[in-house]
């Protein structure tokens, strides 16, 4: 297929760190049919903006897909087409050639420049609500070719994450929310389109070697970025109660962030469990860690029984069992809850954890069910057609 017939797709992203939203975009772009779509990126944040991460993990892999990456700070400079920009070397080599094919408005008005740039594309994808707000609301833009991918949920923010949206303006949202959950999530919006698209990846199972654990503690793990948007309180209380029930157990919380700065160490000291909870930091390869860490059970967050993020789905490929604390129970029955048990009662959460820790057979059976469910529902090759059809039908 010639370039003239390809749809031009732009992804507006904040950064390329190794987190769930960034992986969501990468998995999509890796799987989209490159014979049908040309893909560019506009990166909103400067390189290395977040000191909690040592590198922008998906930057180079994105370039390796053949995508081009623009930096917002360069796009807004008057001398952009002269090549005076900070785009990394691989992109810099093709930058002048690429810039000659698109419209870049030379103006002192940033909104004018952005509007002209976005108009070069058939579809502009915003990877998250905040990315849209940062680029569009602050510049009084609402591109008609825009598609907003919802990668967070109401429960994750102290404020209403939708408060700066104009509720009667038309938006096209993409999310993994069911119709009933969407009514709760987008309450107040009167004029929007929605495309259902589940989290997807290559669902390849991997085995975890059996580790002899005589006289060693049961290890429970949580994988999450350390942030006030991702509460850990229920897990701290649960580990405290398991210890008081006499279980020999430890909790490991894996993820980027500073537990001291977030007040987590102070919480653990108040509960007298600081010696039973550790923060090993960010893990680049979860499968490799699981093969040696001796983890028995995993705790995760859910949103109306829906596992909240890629880590839970990826870990399901190991057949290690997971249970969930539901941070956004809105009283709806969700079939996935039968396979990924979610709780809002601390007593029930602790009792079920205890039952699993005492029974290897229960753990194995639950882990197997979860693996089979994810293979059936989250294999990206089975769902990528949803976005491809959306792009080919001009967002309808």
Q: Is residue 83 part of a domain?
A: yes
Report how far residue 70's alpha carbon sits from residue 95's, in angstroms, rounded to the nearest whole number.
Answer: 9
Report strand pairing: 306-307 vs 297-303.
antiparallel
Cα–Cα separations (whole angstroms), residue 240 to 235, 261, 296, 357: 8, 22, 17, 15
So what's the pLDDT on residue 82?
39
Report how far residue 134's alpha carbon sits from residue 117's, in angstroms, rounded to the nearest whole number.
Answer: 16
So what's the pLDDT on residue 178?
85
Q: Choose between 201 and 76: higher pLDDT.
A: 201
Indicate the helix (H) or strand (E) that contains 238.
helix 233-244
What's the CATH number where 66 sits?
3.40.50.2000
Tokens of 327: 């941070």
Q: Is residue 189 part of a domain?
A: yes
Q: Indicate if 274 and 386 belong to the same structural domain.
A: no
Cα–Cα separations (whole angstroms), residue 6 to 1, 3, 32, 144: 7, 5, 12, 19
Percentages of the chain per state (helix, strand, coil), in multiples of 5: 40, 20, 45
Q: Is residue 210 part of a domain?
A: no
Q: 77: pLDDT confidence band, cut at 50, 70 and 90? A: low
Q: Choose between 313 and 82: higher pLDDT.
A: 313
Residue showing tokens 């014979």? 35
Q: Could you tell me how many helices (H) and strands (E) the chain has, helices first?
A: 14, 14
**Does 167 score more than 50 pLDDT?**
yes
Which positions ≥6 away from 187 have C-beta within 8 Å? none
Q: Is residue 211 part of a domain?
A: no
Q: Indicate if 278 and 332 belong to the same structural domain.
A: yes
Overall domain count for the chain: 2
Max avg pLDDT among 16-25, 183-192, 340-349: 340-349
Report how far residue 219's alpha carbon sits from residue 357's, in angstroms, rounded to the nearest whole number.
Answer: 9
Q: What is the pLDDT of residues 302-327, one digit of tens each?
A: 887 888 788 899 999 999 999 999 98
Nearest residue to 121 (alpha-carbon basis) of 157, 68, 52, 54: 68
So what's the pLDDT on residue 4?
59
Q: Is residue 164 part of a domain?
A: yes
Residue 143: strand, helix, or coil: coil
Q: Indicate if 116 and 177 belong to the same structural domain.
A: yes
Q: Indicate if 122 and 31 belong to the same structural domain.
A: yes
Q: What is the pLDDT of residues 96-106, one digit of tens each?
A: 444 444 555 55
Q: 95: pLDDT confidence band, cut at 50, 70 and 90? A: very low
In three state form, how does the secondary structure of 33-70 look?
CCCCEEEEEEECCCCCCCCCCCCCCCHHHHHHCCCEEE
Q: Indicate if 384 and 332 belong to the same structural domain.
A: no
Average pLDDT, the chain: 87
Q: Indicate if 176 and 153 belong to the same structural domain.
A: yes
**Does 396 score more than 80 pLDDT?**
no
Q: Indicate if 128 and 17 belong to the same structural domain.
A: yes
Q: Indicate if 182 and 77 belong to the same structural domain.
A: yes
Which positions ≥6 away from 4 have C-beta within 8 Å? none
Nearest residue to 168 (alpha-carbon basis) of 194, 191, 142, 137: 191
Q: Is residue 291 part of a domain?
A: yes
So what's the pLDDT on residue 159?
66
Q: What is the pLDDT of residues 256-292, one digit of tens each?
A: 899 999 999 999 999 999 999 999 999 989 999 999 9
Q: Indicate if 370 and 312 belong to the same structural domain.
A: yes
Report how far residue 377's alpha carbon sits from residue 317's, in angstroms, rounded to the nearest whole number.
Answer: 13
| Domain that residue 114 falls in | 3-201+380-392
Q: Is residue 91 part of a domain?
A: yes
Q: Choose between 206 and 215: higher pLDDT.
A: 206
Nearest residue to 305 (alpha-carbon basis) of 274, 334, 275: 334
Which positions ≥6 away from 279 have C-beta within 8 Å? 226, 252, 253, 254, 255, 259, 264
**Does 348 score more than 80 pLDDT?**
yes
Can you say whether the dihedral through the CA atoms of 217, 220, 224, 228 is positive or negative?
negative
Report how far residue 384's alpha carbon sits from residue 32's, in angstroms, rounded to the nearest whole number.
Answer: 7
Q: What is the pLDDT of residues 358-385, one digit of tens each?
A: 999 999 999 999 999 999 999 999 999 9
* Cα 88 off chain centre by: 25
So what's the pLDDT on residue 87?
45
Q: Indicate if 225 and 314 belong to the same structural domain.
A: yes
Q: What is the pLDDT of residues 40-52, one digit of tens each?
A: 999 998 877 777 7
Q: Indicate if 168 and 301 belong to the same structural domain.
A: no
The whole-model pTM stands at 0.83
Q: Indicate if 75 and 152 belong to the same structural domain.
A: yes
Of 12-16, 97-101, 155-159, 174-178, which range is least confident? 97-101
Q: Is residue 213 part of a domain?
A: no
Max avg pLDDT among 4-8, 53-57, 154-158, 184-188: 184-188
- In terms of Cβ atoms closer than 10 Å to its own Cβ (0-12, 13-18, 19+), residue 203 is buried
| Gyration radius from the chain CA atoms | 22
Do the beta carbons of residue 133 and residue 159 sit within 8 Å? Answer: no
């Amino acid at each position: 297929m010639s370039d003239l017939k390809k749809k031009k797709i732009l992804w507006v992203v904040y950064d390329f760190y190794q987190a769930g939203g960034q992986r969501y975009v990468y998995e999509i772009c890796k799987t989209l049919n490159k014979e049908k779509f040309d893909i560019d990126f506009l990166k909103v944040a400067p390189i290395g903006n977040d000191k909690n991460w040592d590198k922008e993990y998906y930057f180079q892999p994105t370039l390796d897909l053949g995508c081009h990456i623009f930096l917002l700070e360069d796009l807004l400079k008057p001398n952009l087409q002269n090549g005076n920009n900070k785009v990394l070397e691989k992109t810099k080599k093709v930058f002048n050639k690429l810039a000659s094919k698109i419209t870049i408005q030379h103006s002192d008005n940033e909104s004018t420049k952005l509007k002209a740039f976005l108009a070069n594309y058939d579809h502009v994808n915003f990877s998250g609500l905040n990315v849209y707000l940062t680029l569009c609301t602050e510049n009084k833009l609402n591109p008609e070719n825009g598609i907003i991918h919802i990668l967070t949920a109401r429960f994750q923010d102290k404020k209403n994450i939708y408060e700066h949206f104009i509720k009667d303006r038309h938006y096209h949202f993409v999310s993994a929310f069911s119709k009933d959950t969407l009514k709760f999530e987008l309450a107040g919006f009167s004029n929007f389109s929605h495309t259902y698209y589940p989290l997807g990846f290559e669902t390849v199972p991997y085995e975890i070697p059996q580790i002899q654990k005589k006289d060693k503690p049961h290890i429970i793990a949580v994988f999450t970025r350390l942030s006030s948007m991702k509460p850990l309180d229920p897990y701290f209380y649960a580990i405290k109660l398991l210890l008081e029930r006499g279980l020999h157990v430890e909790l490991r919380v894996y993820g980027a962030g500073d537990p001291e700065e977030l007040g987590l160490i102070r919480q653990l000291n108040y509960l007298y469990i600081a010696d039973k909870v550790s923060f090993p930091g960010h893990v680049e390869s979860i499968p490799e860690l699981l093969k040696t860490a001796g983890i028995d059970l995993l705790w995760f967050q859910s949103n109306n029984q829906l596992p909240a993020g890629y880590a839970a789905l990826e870990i399901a490929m190991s057949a290690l069992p997971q249970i969930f604390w539901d941070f956004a129970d809105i009283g709806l029955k969700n079939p996935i809850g039968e396979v990924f048990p979610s709780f809002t009662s601390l007593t029930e959460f602790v009792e079920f954890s205890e039952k699993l820790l005492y029974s290897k057979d229960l753990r194995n059976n639950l882990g197997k069910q979860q693996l089979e469910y994810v293979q059936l529902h989250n294999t990206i090759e089975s769902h990528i057609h949803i976005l491809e059809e959306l792009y080919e039908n001009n967002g309808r």
